[in-house]
Structure 1
Amino acid sequence: MSLVPYKTKYCQLPFSFDTGRLNNDLKQIRETDWLDHFNASAYDNVWRCVPLRSVDGKPDHIQSLSDKHYKDTDILKRCPYFQEVIDSFECEKTSVRLMALGAGSQIKMHTDKGTSFEDGIARLHIPIVTRPDICFTIEDEEIHFSAGFTWYLNAGCLHGVRNKSLTPRIHLMLDCIVNSWLENVFQEAGFIPRAKPKYGDPSINDKNVGTIIAGLIAMNNEPAKQMAERLIAIQKSGTTT
């Protein structure tokens, strides 16, 4: 299988799945299983989710939160092929959801902090129902995620989706905890992680770090002093500490 050349914003991974079986499991999802996405300001028209793995296995919980206990929901028990797909990734998963973007709908440009490979979370998309004119915009690039294949999206990048078709777009989305197995998969796919910000915060750079250090020192308290000292040490060494 020909893979997309390495990217830092997205990457096609070497896994593909049977779209017929994916759609058969999709038929086991009831209308009452679908939940409107909680962030109504982030999209126009229709964006809905079905939790297959959630905090404490709750069927009405679609947020992805750190430091929580995740369990499969009862909905997943109706979908054996979804379970097979999920189990094929040899790493821990937190949130697993079906994500449906209605015809003519869009997800507005946004970032999801802490959800990148470099943060230890790989957000994987497996499109089940899609069309060529349904595309992600990731920073300055448009990309269509094709059905049945596995795609990594760096959700920490500015991104959005527009469904220009007359049918809903439905993806199976997995948030995977990065481990050595997944690192090897990404490496084999040609992915190269983005370099970490020099000062640990992407908003701090060599041009403004002096001003930030001065402001921290002026605050005259111990936490600010410690942060200023850390920035000064990085500034002098040229590497993150």
Structure 2
Amino acid sequence: MKLPVPFIQLPLSFDASALAAEIAAFDESLWRPHPSGMPGNSALPLAAVGGDPARGDALEGPMRPTPALERSPYLRQVLGNLGAVLGRIRLMRLSGRAEVEEHVDLDYYWNERVRVHVPIVTQPTVRFSCGDAQINMAEGECWIFDTWRMHHVLNDADRARVHLVVDTVGGPLFWDLVNAGRPHTAPAQGWSPRFVAPQPQAAAPALAFETVNSQSPMSYWELRGHITFLLGEAEPHPRLQEVAHLAGLFVRHWQGLWFRHGTDEAGLQEYRDLLAGFFARIGPVAGEIRLRNGVDLGAAVRGLLGRAVRRSDATAATEETSRSAPRAAARA
């Protein structure tokens, strides 16, 4: 989700040692390699589609707790204090001397969600870059960041870094936390987060998980909003008006299909044909236009609208196809 600043620290802190002890009990076999094979990156699913850890990379479907989360009382307590509807949740591990390559999270799933980070095991030298900002997230802190900006993580230490990472659309209590949060540029002096101590004898908190996280086909109003957003993010370019014209025609044609078919399956192939035709028409031009975050407009359109209608083979989206290329490749 695009935020007004690169990083915001939420007014919560947690017992990192207690969290580290809890995750140390997990068998190594529960950790999964990065879906695109990014070296040194692995994850342990805590909430996944249907609660199935094997579907920990999927972005569509009802998110439910995995067995690992069910037997982790303090992790559940941490999640309960976020006051949010919970989407995909993972422990993300970055090996020593490894990095998360520079990228933007382009997929529709992240456009609608805030990403929460709670560092559990880390070092002062680990650097998290987002846009033109760079910080170190200390153990036990709670942060959100702007996934729409180019971001990168470097672990230059020998020990692995492990974060709890939560994707969420939020909730009333969560947005209160955000509004009370500290932008990374604001002084930390005098700002005191609320410490959430482990309560092993307390009843497990009731957690709310996503059940609906996409619509096929995408409604006309939502699609129009995404197109408007993307065009507003574009840098000046001589052919931007040409793309805007093609996008306007596409939105009007989608409107006609929506008012004719709505979500009726009888109209799905017409939606698919319209979407494919739009991608083909703007492809040669949109790839020349950059957004303010450094990604080309064509890639961003495909990221946000690629699942505007369910594919005929019903292939679910995963993280592997949902990130931008590193900046050097994106600008090639």
Query: Fold conserved (TM > 0.5)?
Result: yes
Name the counterpart of 2:137: 145
Name the counterpart of 2:15: 18
> Are the equivalent residues in 1 in contact too, given 2:122–2:161 (CA < 8 A)?
yes
Name the counterpart of 2:43: 49
Choose the corresponding residue for 1:199, options 223, 228, 231.
228
Name the counterpart of 1:90: 83
Choose the corresponding residue for 1:71, options 64, 76, 85.
64
> Are the equivalent residues in 2 in contact too, given 1:216–1:225 (CA < 8 A)?
no
Choose the corresponding residue for 2:152, options 145, 157, 160.
160
User: Cα distance, 1:166 vs. partner?
Assistant: 0.6
Name the counterpart of 2:35: 38
Choose the corresponding residue for 1:172, options 148, 164, 170.
164
Distance between the aligned counterparts of 1:9 and 1:170, measured in 2?
Answer: 21
Deviates more, 1:140-149 or 1:202-211: 202-211
| Cα 1:7/1:166, change in 2 over 3 Å | farther
Q: Structure 1, residues 184-234: CA drift from partner, whole Å, max 9, x if none? A: 21111156xxxx9993215546765533345568x89962898xxxxxxxx
Distance between the aligned counterparts of 2:22 and 2:251, measured in 1?
Answer: 57
Question: Number of paired residues?
Answer: 210
Higher strand share: 1
The share of aligned pairs that are identical, in percent, is 22
Deviates more, 1:204-213 or 1:138-147: 204-213
The amino acid across from 1:137 in the alignment is S
Distance between the aligned counterparts of 2:235 and 2:141, measured in 1?
Answer: 38
Structure 1: state its 5+ residue gaps: 1-5, 227-241
Q: Structure 1, residues 108-164: CA drift from partner, whole Å, max 9, x if none? A: 000112466xx4411100000000111111122221111101010222211011110
| Cα 1:161/1:223, change in 2 over 3 Å | same
> Are the equivalent residues in 1 in contact too, given 2:6–2:133 (CA < 8 A)?
no
Q: 1:129-144 alignment to 2 at 5 Å?
A: 129-144=121-136
> Are the equivalent residues in 2 in contact too, given 1:135–1:142 (CA < 8 A)?
yes
Choose the corresponding residue for 1:223, options 249, 253, 263.
253
TM norm structure 1: 0.77
Distance between the aligned counterparts of 2:20 and 2:115, measured in 1?
Answer: 21
Distance between the aligned counterparts of 2:83 and 2:40, measured in 1?
Answer: 33
CA RMSD, Structure 1 to Structure 2 (Å): 2.9
| Cα 1:56/1:135, change in 2 over 3 Å | same
Distance between the aligned counterparts of 1:220 and 1:71, measured in 2?
Answer: 36
Higher helix share: 2
Structure 2: state its 5+ residue gaps: 184-224, 257-332
